A and B are shown apart, each in its own frame.
Chain A
Amino acid sequence: QSALTQPASVSGSPGQSITFSCTGTSSDVGGYNYVSWYQQHPGKVPKLMIYEVSNRPSGVPDRFSGSKSGNTASLTISGLQAEDEADYYCSSYTSSSTLVFGGGTKLTVL
């Protein structure tokens, strides 16, 4: 049950688009379309932003989008806003019928 690999940090300016990566294996990310993304502001509870690779729950702005290619999933935020500054975690279902999270990426809006 190795954690999925995410970059520790990314940064961008307001209005820009940025993409987070989440790399796993064929036993998790690459094998199933059950990748989710969560946003967590400091001291707050994680919030589901994307599920099943590319679906947005109601209430999540369409600036957030998800995709997958092979063993790597991606979260893209277009039109970056100051309120998007947070930690972002990916998660995937695995071949062991468990769930696994990535280490998280800290987004800084410059």
Chain B
Amino acid sequence: QVQLVESGGGLVKPGGSLRLSCAASGFTFSDYYMSWIRQAPGKGLEWVSYISSSGSTIYYADSVKGRFTISRDNAKNSLYLQMNSLRAEDTAVYYCARGRGYRNDYWGQGTLVTVSS
């Protein structure tokens, strides 16, 4: 069965950096584009970024462009999100999700990122 397991969240100070990982299993990872989607506490979903199956095509939300970098390692079945210059408003649960035809059909359990001094 499809499994997505995020890791790397935690408490970081404003201006700091964090790298999130998502380990995928149960499907051919290299066949699918992947997304990061976040949800601030008590708030709605916000799409962050997606990367194509080969990694050649990447898009970001304006709110994170220039600060976040998405990447993948198909040999390791892993997705990453490098987050730099973190702000309080980046505090959220970050989900990785499998993409298919501009929908996200499987989601991980999420990892909490808290940006606070």
Q: Contact residues of A with B, CB < 8 Å? A: 1, 3, 32, 34, 36, 38, 40, 45-48, 51-52, 57, 87, 89, 91, 93, 96-104
Chain B neighbourhood of A3, CB < 8 A: 44
Stretch with Cβ within 8 A of A (4 or more), from B18-26, B83-91, B98-106? B98-106
Cross-chain contact B110 with A98 (CB below 8 angstroms): no
Partner of B103, one of A34, A87, A98: A34
Chain B neighbourhood of A97, CB < 8 A: 59
Chain B neighbourhood of A103, CB < 8 A: 44
Chain A neighbourhood of B105, CB < 8 A: 48, 51, 57
Q: Total contacts A to B, CB within 8 angstroms?
A: 61
Interface string of B99-117 (1 = CB under 8 A from A): 0011111011110000000
* Residue B95 is within 8 A (CB to CB) of chain A in the complex: yes
**Distance in angstroms between the alpha carbons of A53 and B101 in the assembled complex:** 12
* Residue B35 is within 8 A (CB to CB) of chain A in the complex: yes
